[in-house]
């Protein structure tokens, strides 16, 4: 188990907060064990929450050029045919994974290929399951083309708590299945848009793991 690099600034802030809180308790209430125990407890809880959120576990990644691998940990909340308005501008099969604050938040390439499109959009912070979050929230869109010409679009979507999306992809990059393409801080959603007729390998409300679960 390692800590993701995106967590270093937040961990540093949590450490400073904890040090200040403990310092205040010890300075202003030197005789109060209750105050000092409370400060230590709050500090411990904060550090544990931050460290577990930014964890980046090692796994035996699933790699198969004929499969689309899940890009994120979480729960499948959408499987439906929709109109994809940004890049394809036609009907696609959408699979959405909701990430709670307790999930691993590293996002991984579902396929290998070449990045044909990568764009960050500023926007709102509606709750991630809101129907308009896909088009109105802060989000990123990445399209990877496999060597056989099939293109897959995946989108990071900020939620009510997620206030920063990190995308590493740039147009022209070589994408490697299960390698990192981004990170979303504090819970959100990832949408994957597949060609119609793709065989889906997951069900609604199924709990999935990024880089492990075969999505389709």
178: domain CATH number is: 2.70.70
Q: Which of 141-150, 158-167, 174-183 has the lowest mean pLDDT?
A: 158-167
User: Which residue range forms the structural domain that includes residue 163?
Assistant: 74-208
- The residue annotated as part of the active site, out of 18, 112, 134, 188, is 188
Number of compact structural domains in the chain? 2
**Section 50-55 average pLDDT:** 83
Clarify whether residues 141 and 177 are in a common domain.
yes
Clarify whether residues 200 and 125 are in a common domain.
yes
Q: Which of 137-151, 154-168, 191-205 has the lowest mean pLDDT?
A: 154-168
Clarify whether residues 119 and 150 are in a common domain.
yes
Clarify whether residues 149 and 99 are in a common domain.
yes
Clarify whether residues 50 and 87 are in a common domain.
no
What single-letter DSSP state applies at residue 127? -
Within a domain: 69? no
Within a domain: 93? yes
Task: With a cut of 80, say whether residue 164 has pLDDT above it.
Answer: no
So what's the pLDDT on residue 37?
Answer: 95
Clarify whether residues 41 and 135 are in a common domain.
no
Under the banding of pLDDT at 50, 70 and 90, the label for residue 138 is confident
Place of tokens 């060597």: 147
Average pLDDT, rounded, for the chain: 90
Clarify whether residues 41 and 80 are in a common domain.
no
Task: With a cut of 70, say whether residue 170 has pLDDT above it.
Answer: yes
Clarify whether residues 48 and 83 are in a common domain.
no
State the Cα–Cα distance between residues 12 and 36, nearest whole angstrom.
21
Clarify whether residues 161 and 195 are in a common domain.
yes
Domain end (from 30, 56, 82): 56
Clarify whether residues 22 and 98 are in a common domain.
no
Between 158 and 190, whose confidence is greater?
190
Clarify whether residues 109 and 16 are in a common domain.
no
Between 207 and 55, whose confidence is greater?
207
Is-catalytic flag, 56?
no
**Section 23-34 average pLDDT:** 91
Task: With a cut of 60, say whether residue 26 has pLDDT above it.
Answer: yes
Task: With a cut of 60, say whether residue 162 has pLDDT above it.
Answer: no
Strand segments, DSSP code E, in the chain are 2-3, 55-56, 74-84, 90-99, 106-108, 113-121, 139-145, 151-158, 165-167, 174-175, 180-184, 188-194, 207-208
């Amino acid at each position: 188990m390692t800590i993701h690099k995106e967590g270093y600034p937040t961990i540093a802030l949590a450490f400073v907060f904890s040090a200040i809180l403990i310092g205040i308790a010890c300075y202003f209430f030197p005789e109060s064990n209750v105050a000092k125990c409370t400060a230590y407890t709050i500090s411990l809880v904060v550090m544990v929450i931050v460290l577990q959120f930014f964890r980046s576990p090692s796994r035996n990644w699933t790699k198969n050029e004929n499969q689309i691998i899940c890009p994120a940990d979480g729960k499948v909340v959408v499987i439906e045919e929709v109109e994809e308005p940004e890049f394809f501008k036609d009907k696609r099969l959408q699979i959405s994974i909701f990430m709670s604050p307790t999930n691993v938040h590293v996002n991984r390439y579902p396929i290998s290929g070449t990045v044909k499109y990568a764009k960050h959009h500023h926007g709102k912070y509606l709750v991630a399951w809101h129907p308009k979050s896909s088009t109105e929230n802060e989000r990123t869109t990445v399209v990877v083309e496999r060597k056989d010409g099939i293109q897959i679009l995946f989108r990071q979507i900020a939620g009510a708590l997620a206030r920063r999306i990190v995308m590493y992809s740039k147009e022209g990059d070589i994408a490697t299945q299960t390698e990192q393409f981004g990170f979303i801080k504090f819970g959100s959603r990832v949408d994957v848009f597949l060609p119609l007729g793709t065989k889906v390998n997951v069900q609604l409300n199924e709990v999935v793991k990024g880089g492990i679960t075969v999505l389709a």
